[in-house]
Amino acid sequence: MSKKKDKNKTLETSELVVSGLNTRTRKRVILSFPPSVLQTPITYILAKEYDIASNILRAEIAPEETGKLVIEMDGLPDKLEEAIKRIKEHGIEVTEIARKVIFNMDKCTHCGVCVSVCLAGALKLDEEYHLQFIEPKCTVCEMCVPACPFNVVNIDI
């Protein structure tokens, strides 16, 4: 399968985010490889079998040594779980990096712009019209980050 095809897949997926039906989320993980599995084509398997778009953020691979790969995976939540299990079966150590959005409320005007793009329903205006962040509902889709006119929302990794 060519690279091009993978690209098409990611395009489709961004449409999925739009429709908001099956919300895709992102997960960042550190993969530590023993020398024996350095050749495993991870990103290929992720894309082909789990419909996960992956983005390599950092790679430290030296021959005959353990390698380290920091990747961001974008896919449906259950697929992400399955994929991580599969990677572990290959003898690769997986450490998840918790990723969350944080609000610098000192600068927040409670305008509501971020609420308008939060299809997960994690952002609400309360009865006094103050912004409320219901973190358990947050899928870390990051739509609110560029939407805020005042740079209040940031990603914490």
Partner 1 sequence: MQRTIEEINDKIKNERAQVLTASEAKEVIKEKGSKYFTDNIDIVTCASFEMNTNALLYLSFGQTDPLIYFMDPYINNVPAYVLGPTDLALSCVLSSRDNLEYGGAHIIEDLILGKDIHLKTNGRNFEVYPNKEFDTWFNIKNLNCARLVLNQAINQNNIVAANSGANDINSNMGTLIGKLENSTFNSSSFLNPLINDPYCKTIGVGSSVWVAGGHGIVLGYGSNHNPNQHRNKHSIPIGPSITLSAFADTDQMKSKWVRGGYLKSFGVVLYVGIGIPIPVLNEEIAEALSITDENIHTTIVDFSIPRRTKPIFGQCTYSELRTSTVLINEKPTLTAPLSSMAYAIEICKILKDEIINKDFFLTKSIMPIDMNVELKKLDSRLGELV
Alpha-carbon gap, residue 153 to 140, rounded angstroms: 11
For ligand SF4, the closer CB: 31 or 140: 140
128 binds, options partner 1, ligand SF4, none, Cβ within 5 to 8 A by partner type: partner 1
Q: Which of 149, 90, 140, 92 is nearest to 120 (CA)?
A: 140
- What's the min distance (Å) between Cβ of 37 and partner 1? 40
Amino acid identity for residue 4 in this structure: K
20 binds, options ligand SF4, partner 1, none, Cβ within 5 to 8 A by partner type: partner 1
Give buried/exposed letters for 103-122 (b at 16+ CB in 10 A, else e): beeeeeeeeeebbebbebeb
The tokens describing 112, both together, are 């509501």
Q: What is the binding site for partner 1 (CB under 8 A)?
A: 18-20, 109-113, 115-119, 124-125, 128-130, 143, 146-147, 149-151
Contacts to ligand SF4 by CB under 6 A: 101, 103, 108-114, 117-118, 120, 122-123, 131, 138-144, 148, 150, 152-153
